[in-house]
Structure 1
Amino acid sequence: MNVLLENLPTILALATTGVFAGILAGLLGVGGGIVIVPVLYFLFQRFGVSPQSAMMIATATSLATIIPTSISSIRAHMNKGNVDLSLLKAWGFFILIGVLIGSSVVTFIGGQWLSALFGIVASLSALNMLLRTGKSAIVEQLPGRVGQSIMASCIGFFSSMVGIGGGTLSVPILTACNYPAHKAVGTAAAIGLIISFPAALTMLMLGQTPADAPLGTYGLVNFVGFICIVPLTVLFAPVGAKLASVMDANLLKKVFAVVLLITGARMLIQSFI
């Protein structure tokens, strides 16, 4: 009981993270990882965790939370026929290779470099939201087999290293190649599971728990965060979806993009100062 009371502020803050991530996911269609990683990164530091340890634990914990939420999302998109199984068959192996390499690198690379990488990915994602408002394609179609294998490997590698699911990278890449937006979003949910499960498992099994890790951390996964975030993210995603029907989602997406850009810049600065 005393342990629970001592850690009550942390538990409440983690629960708030789940609510925030769920509402944004439903409201703006953004992946939970792009919200959860920076929030956990700064939150853990508030409770005495070093920036390096905070980033590694935030990355692994975010990936763990994506597993159940992506399963729920896959079921919804499968019912609508928006999951491209042929693309998953072609990309799955290469995504997995990228994930295994990326998640293994996380277990020994410094948290400083992970923070910098997330800052870059977050900033590019924010600029994509701000500048590429339309869904117009950049090229006519997806590249050939070799090009697609490189794309899939890179999506798996970078997503696993910064703790995000498939949507943040795969949706803009696919739509830029004239791929239907609705199928890109649906297929990205399945890509998120291919990324999150092996990546989280690798970081759980191979990651060495930092000495200053918060309560409930095994390997690099914080299970207190997982338990607090997952149910609330699932519960509040429909709330965000309902809000999207009565609010200006495009304006809110731009506001979120600006906040994400500032967050990415802050993480980049903190990485090198």
Structure 2
Amino acid sequence: MQGNSFDNKICIVTGAAQGIGQAVTQRLSDNGALKVYALDLNHEALTHAWHAYSNVIPVALNICDREAIRLLVEDIQREHSHIDVLVNNAGITQDALLENMSESQWDQVVEVNLKGVFNLTQAVASIMMANGYGSIITMSSVVGTDGNIGQSNYAATKGGVIAMTKGWAKEFSRHGEQVRANCVAPGFVETPMTANLPEKVLNMMRQKTPLQRMASVDDIADGVEFLASDKSRFITGQVLKIDGGLVL
């Protein structure tokens, strides 16, 4: 995509301190966003990642804290009067076979991956609708479309955000607003989290993928950038799989 495709845009990215969220934040910043609000729990990692970027505003925030979200969104609206892009990227895993999964493991994943997405989107969507424009991209997963052993909680949340997104695509444009909602569903991705896996596990992931490699964070950021930009202005309610053919 050409540079400056996000001129004057105000963007919010969650889970922005590392991995996919960091790559997406940098992509929006490098492509001319007026401001990118980079949200993450890890204040130290946020500061380290974004101290040299004048148009990235690091915000240490828990997406389960509805009051903190309300105050942040009010501040952004007061300063800029618009929010153009929301990328719901933050998420966690607490894997276990169903027979061994604790209530806490279930609750924690649902609270962050599903309710956290609800919290941010609810706070931002009304501003986008009032302005008649916006793009909301939520990170799902092939686990949310096709399931996986030992990830009942994660699959439920990643399938849930797809269902919410499809509803939002209809709800947020019902009076003609150009407010779009889409999901990205990655397959195996090289991130700081997967870097700690044994090489035999990484090789298994590569072998399962028809394109014989794992995605880079930039592969995922490419898809998010497209859905956030006006190049996808007639795309809404969709799930973009970026998985190298893992799920066909």
TM-score, normalised with respect to structure 2: 0.28
User: RCO higher in 1 or 2 (8 Å CA, sep ≥ 6)?
Assistant: 1
Q: Which has the higher strand share?
A: 2
Identify the structure with the greater helix proportion.
1
| TM-score (structure 1 length as normaliser) | 0.26
